[in-house]
Amino acid sequence: MTTDRIVVVGAGITGASIAYHLAKRGAKVAIVDAVRPGAGATEKSFGWINATFSKRPQAYFELNQLGIAGWRRLETELGGELKVQWGGSVAWVAAGSEADALRESVRKHQEWGYATHLIDRDEMHGLLTNIAPGEFGAACYCEAEGAVDAMDAVKAMLRQVREAGAEVRYPHEITGLKLQRGRVTAIQAGESSLEAAVVVLACGVAIPPLAEMAEVSVPLKESEGVLVHSRPQPKLIDRVVLAPGIHCKQKLDGRVVVGGPVVAGLGTSVGPTAGTAPDPGEYARQILRDAARVLPGLRGVAVERVTVGRRVMPVDEYPIVGFAANCPNLYIAAMHSGVTLGPLIGQLAALEILDGARVSLLEPYRPSRFID
Ligand SMILES: Cc1cc2nc3c(=O)[nH]c(=O)nc-3n(C[C@H](O)[C@H](O)[C@H](O)COP(=O)(O)OP(=O)(O)OC[C@H]3O[C@@H](n4cnc5c(N)ncnc54)[C@H](O)[C@@H]3O)c2cc1C
């Protein structure tokens, strides 16, 4: 091996965090992105930092809870460069089976030590003064959660990466891996190549074909998510809101971001589309109208843009992290909830790559689970 360089492929939240944690420890790092930092799922993410309630079993919940703590640490490390909105989340559902399920979820997460509790209608109004909840069955407040603009985090981490003397290269699409005796020796971008002692594949939905070149299987499934972004508004909410059929947050710049269901054929920008595809502009206005039923301050508010993102969704929905069993210097990092987990995974990956540690927390999520 003629180099000690670690090359990170993909500068979304996962790659940026891994590069940041490696560079912080003095490693020689280069990070490359096919388009620009954050251009994949990261810039289309809702950015909710959470460990509720789909985060099961307990080990996966605990990983996400540590993920929340990771953001506290990162925010401190980055000083004033990054601001996480630590307002927690408030969720409510209509009466009936959903209310029963929410109560049960809260009870289970409390057993696991999570700072969540049931709240009544008055308490909910105390936390969210501007909402009109409509039909109310049960509600809960998850105090420890937050929201972040993942792009702010990527930019702040990459600033530190550059300051540490590491290279951040884009647009630079990796088209191949050079392999020798079962190890990767370089990454290729067309005719050019960059030698590497370790290659980290953190390029989201583009991981499978690159990993396949080293005969490593990283099975992902399709999953899209739509977000509607309003123009900046005076302060309406300062927590993540999970209402029946809608979730929203208000960013530090005043923009309200609302998540809605995906509709086939939806474009990535607001404006009329041809043929039978739905009009994204009308779709987005409808999402904001739906949100205005629970947040009346959104009535008549203009849509600024719509984003449609492809989640990095492993087939079993759990992260795929670690060195590949049959290519020992190829490190894979593919995950949904990549925002929640970003700072933690960066820190743990640095331990595994630089110290040869095997972090037991990550054992359930190894790429080798997909070997037949
Ligand atoms: C609508 C939506 C809402 C979400 N909400 C949340 C949430 O509330 N909380 C949460 O925790 N998670 C959420 N997620 C998931 C989260 O955003 C992702 O898990 C996370 O952004 C994945 O980051 P990543 O860095 O692994 O991948 P990506 O952000 O996809 O980054 C991959 C990068 O690799 C680059 N790349 C691709 N191919 C190549 C190549 N050949 N060579 C070089 N570079 C390449 C791309 O340009 C891209 O920048 C959401 C996702 C979506 C879509």
How does pLDDT run across 150-196, given as a tens digit for each residue? 999 999 999 999 999 999 999 999 999 999 999 999 999 999 999 99
**Would you state the structure tokens that stand for residue 197, as one six-digit string?**
């002692």
Residue 103's φ and ψ, nearest 5 degrees, are -60, -40
Q: Is the CB of 183 under 6 A from ligand 1?
A: no
Q: Is the CB of 204 under 6 A from ligand 1?
A: yes
Express the helix, strand and coil content of the chain in percent, nearest 5 each: 35, 25, 40
Residue 25 has pLDDT above 70, yes or no: yes
pLDDT of residue 268: 47
The crossing angle, in degrees rounded to 10, of helices 150-163 and 13-24 is: 30
Residue 143: CA count within 13 A, CB half-sphere:
8
- Which region, left, alpha or beta, applies to residue 245 given φ > 0 means left and ψ of -120 to 50 means alpha? left
At residue 201, what is the residue type? L
- CA 14 / ligand 1 centre spacing (Å): 8
Q: Is the CB of 17 under 6 A from ligand 1?
A: no
- CA 205 / ligand 1 centre spacing (Å): 8
- What percent of the chain has pLDDT above 90? 91
CB of 260 within 8 A of CB of 226? Answer: yes
Q: Which atom of ligand 1 is nearest to the CA of 10?
A: 34
- Which region, left, alpha or beta, applies to residue 133 given φ > 0 means left and ψ of -120 to 50 means alpha? alpha
CB of 152 within 8 A of CB of 82? Answer: yes
- CA 270 / ligand 1 centre spacing (Å): 22
- CA 371 / ligand 1 centre spacing (Å): 24
Which residues are 224's β-sheet partners?
Answer: 310
Region 237-250: mean pLDDT is 96
- CA 126 / ligand 1 centre spacing (Å): 35
Pocket probe mutation, ligand 1, options 8, 9, 32, 45, max atoms within 8 Å of Cβ? 45
pLDDT band at 333 (very low <50, low <70, confident <90, very high): very high
DSSP code string of 296-345: GGGTTPPEEEEEEEE--EETTSS-EEEEETTEEEEEEEE-SSHHHHHHHH
User: Ligand 1, atom 1: nearest CA belongs to which residue?
Assistant: 225
- CA 33 / ligand 1 centre spacing (Å): 12
Q: Is the CB of 34 under 6 A from ligand 1?
A: yes
Residue 360 has pLDDT above 90, yes or no: yes
- CA 339 / ligand 1 centre spacing (Å): 8
How does the average pLDDT of the chain come out, rounded? 94
Q: Is the CB of 337 under 6 A from ligand 1?
A: yes
Kindly give, in sequence order, each residue whose CB lies less than 8 Å from that of residue 226, ignoring residues fewer than 6 positions away: 259, 260, 261, 262, 263, 266, 287, 306, 307, 308, 309
Q: From the CB of residue 155, how many other CB atoms can be counted at a distance below 10 Å? A: 15
User: Ligand 1, atom 50: nearest CA belongs to which residue?
Assistant: 45
Q: Which atom of ligand 1 is nearest to the CA of 307?
A: 1
Q: Which atom of ligand 1 is nearest to the CA of 310?
A: 53
Region 47-65: mean pLDDT is 97
Region 220-225: mean pLDDT is 96
Region 110-125: mean pLDDT is 97
pLDDT band at 260 (very low <50, low <70, confident <90, very high): confident
At residue 125, what is the residue type? H
Region 78-98: mean pLDDT is 96
How far is it, in rounded angstroms, from Cα 245 to Cα 66?
28
Q: Is the CB of 154 under 6 A from ligand 1?
A: no
More confident residue, 281 or 72: 72
Q: Is 193 helix (H, G, I), strand (E, B) or coil?
A: strand
pLDDT band at 267 (very low <50, low <70, confident <90, very high): low
Helices (H), the chain: 13-24, 58-77, 97-111, 121-127, 150-163, 207-212, 280-294, 338-355
Which residues are 303's β-sheet partners?
Answer: 230
Q: Is 225 helix (H, G, I), strand (E, B) or coil?
A: strand
Q: Is the CB of 52 under 6 A from ligand 1?
A: no
At residue 188, what is the residue type? Q
- CA 257 / ligand 1 centre spacing (Å): 17
